[in-house]
Amino acid sequence: MSRATINDVAREANVSKKTVSRVLNQEPNVHLDTRQRVLDAMNKLSYRPSKQARGLASTQSYLVALIYDNPNKSYISDIQEGCLSVCNEFGYHLLIHPSDYDAEDRTQRLHDLIVDSQVDGVILTPPFSDNEEILTLVEELNRPCVRVGGTYHKDNTPFVTANDRTISMELTNYLVSLGHTRIGFIKGHPDHSASDLRFEGYLKALEQNNIAIDDDIILQGLFQFRHAESVCRKMLRVNEPPTAIFASNDQMAAAVLKVASQLGFEVPHDLSVCGFDDAPISNYIWPSLTTVKQPLKTIARDACQHLLRGIKNQQSLDDVIHQCEVIIRASTAPPSRRV
């Protein structure tokens, strides 16, 4: 059986080819009854529009780019899944593009990608979403853009993110409520706005509880297991080690569990540990991690919907901040020693 064409759909629905095209492009000026008749005809004929043909017939490629550089595979997997689900709904393809943020020619590489692929829009994830040079590039190329997690340079492009600062305050306050007053903190990547916001939440909670800040137990982990492993070893060897450690993501919290075990700290009896993200690893390891559940798939869906609506309607978009949730598990408990 030959593949159905747009002309076949038009004949089956008793409408013009232009009307079928308007339905495919989700244009608003089509009567609901007519729209349904066209959709029924497409379903009956198993019609699948060619995105290449649609692109040639218009100025759109029906392709959007997702740009990322993140070693956390579960994070990227959730972002991809959320974006893909929306692209499928809107009839778009998603160009998933890993890019080296540390490359000297990163801006030129992204320029070439956007121009050569002729994407209709761009979704940027951290740290690209917080980089002014990259945001300027996308603006100069006149491509609609939505950022996931990026909150720096707020005037450039809209963002969809999580309430990193307030939820980090909540998690730190939870540790204080258990009796911890010496709480270490492992920072994320300095080019991620989320890193600063989570650290700010931690500091604000200490301030609210009149707990002194000690730079010896605040170290940089770059959101990576191996870096967190190194700095945690240093943190737990100070004269007065912390009774709790808040790592800025679950990968780093897992590194804390490893080092604690190697150095003879029993978790949570000697040391409470918590992370951020509620990545699969947080439930796979033991003790399971107290962490923050971040709705990454929902964030990604919102970002992609924002982008595609902006492409279709050329409308201004508002920033969106999603609420996270503290998940209490086995890695936290009252301290066994007082400091």
pLDDT(58) > 60: no
Q: Are the C-beta atoms of 98 and 113 separated by less than 8 Å?
A: no
Q: For the domain made up of 6-49, give the CATH fold.
A: 434 Repressor (Amino-terminal Domain) (1.10.260)
Residue 18 CA: distances (Å) to CA of 35, 138, 156, 205, 281 = 12, 32, 36, 60, 51
For 102-115, what is each residue's pLDDT tens digit? 999 999 999 999 98
Fold annotation for 63-162+295-324: Rossmann fold (3.40.50)
Lowest mean pLDDT among 39-48, 87-96, 307-316: 307-316
Q: Indicate the pLDDT class of residue 292, thresholds 50, 70 and 90.
A: very high
- 309-318 tens-digit pLDDT: 888 775 656 7
Q: For 149-167, what is the mean pLDDT? A: 85
For residue 108, give Cα distances in angstroms to 96, 114, 115, 124, 183. Answer: 18, 10, 11, 16, 42
The whole-number pLDDT of residue 56 equals 44
Place 6 in a pLDDT band, splitting at 50, 70 and 90.
confident
Question: For the whole model, what pTM was predicted?
Answer: 0.81
CB 151 within 8 A of CB 202: no
Q: With contact defined as beta carbons under 8 Å apart, do 128 and 68 qualify?
A: yes
Contact predicate 287/258, CB 8 Å: no
Hey, what are 324's tokens?
Answer: 């996270």
Task: Considering the domain delimited by 164-294, tell me its CATH architecture.
Answer: 3-Layer(aba) Sandwich (3.40)
Dihedral angle, C-alpha 172, 149, 323, 214, nearest 10 °: 10
Asked if residue 154 has pLDDT above 80, the reply is: no
Please, are residues 72 and 279 in contact by the beta-carbon 8 Å criterion? yes
CATH 3.40.50.2300 domain position(s) in the chain = 63-162+295-324, 164-294
Q: Does 168 or 26 have the greater pLDDT score?
A: 168
- pLDDT, tens digit (0-9, with 9 covering 90-100), for 210-268: 999 999 999 999 999 999 999 999 999 999 999 999 999 999 999 999 999 999 999 99
